[in-house]
Structure 1
Amino acid sequence: MTVLDIRKVGDPVLRRVAEPVTVFDAELHKLVGDLNETLEQSRGAGLAAPQIGVSLRLFAINPDLPGNDARLDHLINPGLEFPDDDEQDGPEGCLSIPGIYLDTKRRMNVVARGLTKHGDPVQIVGAGLLARCIQHETDHLDGVLFIDRQDAAGQERILATLREAAWADAQLKVSPH
């Protein structure tokens, strides 16, 4: 497996809606391995394929996240359901936006259904941090970044900060999503 570069905010791949995975072959198995290796090296909670430049509906999650009883480390073509209206508001960061952590409102509980790299159906029921991670990574598959979930004033402050960062693209914009 290979540790890959993580794309930073401003890269157009992060704003595209990713394509569904349709082929479950050795190339997909390698991609899942690369995602997991890159995630482990970065010490993050999750990493979506667009963050390594691959516009496919796939993400890796840290199997040691609290509540991940299945120890699942990836999900392909996820669909999310919310069993209740409970919300959480807490700090969130992103490997594609290093050094920025913001309180972000998310649903407290989620049921995520998708596929494994073998094409087998799987379901993850998550609460708290696991639910936050699943929602965050699924947002990446839809071209949405967590900064898009801030109010307008917060988005402008973040964009101003990011434009000053040495690694950031000067053409940063908030998604209309």
Structure 2
Amino acid sequence: MSIIPIVTLPDEKTLREVSKPVETVDAQVRKLWDDMLETMYHAPGIGLAAIQIGVPRRLLVIDLSKEDEEKQPLFVANPEITWSSEIQSDYEEGCLSIPEYYEMVTRPAEIRLRYLDRQGEPREMHATGLMATCLQHEIDHLNGVLFIDHISRLKRDRVLKKFQKAQKLGKL
């Protein structure tokens, strides 16, 4: 397994690219998932979409386990939200592609998801709480959407300017 550099702002061109579906879950896809998982654990984070390492494929990994708990990685290919609740929940989100920035985001509290698992088998799951939030956040990445797109334009513009300035000053 390898740790791969994470694409961060101000590289919006890459982060806003819409990812392509995976044809089949094969050894190459599983290797990419393993690399993504190692990269995510190293960062550290709880979710990572393939586009965040510059690969525009509809793949993501999530692990909500705490440091002292056994790892419970979830490998997801070609996710599709088939239902979302009308009830909303707020969660303070952060993103490995937007380091050290957190903001309250409102999303559906529950979702149903259809996807392919690590063996390429079709699966469905019902997610609530942090898992529902994390899945929606990562699926947004696959669609070229960042969590800052869910906040006010003023706040989003400030964040983008901050990262553009840091890049000009050579701090990224």
**How would you bin the TM-score normalised by the shorter chain?**
0.7 to 0.9
Could you tell me which residue of structure 2 aligns to residue 30 of structure 1? 31
SS of 2:91 mapped into structure 1: strand
Deviations 1:54-99 (A, max 9, x none): 100000001527xxxxx45211000013342011112100000000
- Does 1:150 find its partner at 2:151? yes
Structure 2 matches for 1:42-57, cutoff 5 A? Answer: 42-57=43-58
1:20 corresponds in structure 2 to 21
Aligned-pair identity in percent equals 38
CA change 1:77–1:168 in 2 (3 A) is farther
Kept in 2: contact 1:18–1:143 (CA 8 A) = yes
Residue by residue over 1:109-135, the C-alpha shift from the partner in whole angstroms, topping out at 9 and shown as x without a partner, is 111110013210112221111111000
RMSD, aligned CA: 2.0
Q: Which runs of 5+ in 1 are unaligned?
A: 66-70, 170-177
Residue 130 in structure 1 maps to residue 126 in structure 2: no
Instruction: Give the 3 Å change call, closer, same or farther, for CA 64–122 of structure 1 in structure 2.
Output: farther
Q: Which moved more, 1:154-163 or 1:101-110?
A: 154-163
Unaligned 5+ runs, structure 2: 67-71
Q: Does 1:5 align with 2:5?
A: yes
Shift of 1:151: 1.6
Report 1:1-177 matches (<5 A): 1-11=1-11, 12-64=13-65, 71-166=72-167
TM-score w.r.t. the length of structure 2 is: 0.87
Count of aligned positions: 164
Q: Distance in 2 between matches of 1:97 and 1:168?
A: 17
Q: Give the C-alpha shift of residue 156 in structure 1.
A: 2.0
Are the equivalent residues in 1 in contact too, given 2:10–2:163 (CA < 8 A)?
no
Q: Which stretches of structure 1, 4 residues or longer, exceed 6 Å deviation after superposition?
A: none
- How big is the shift at 1:29? 1.2
Q: Within 2, Cα distance between the matches of 1:38 and 1:50?
A: 13
Distance 1:120 1:90 in 2: 31
> For residues 167 and 153 of structure 2, what CA distance do their matches in structure 1 show?
24
The aligned counterpart of 2:69 is none
| Partner Cα separation in structure 2 for residue 15 and residue 3 of structure 1 | 22
Distance 1:20 1:5 in 2: 22
Looking at structure 2, the residues matched to 41 and 123 of structure 1 have their Cα atoms a distance apart, in angstroms, of 29
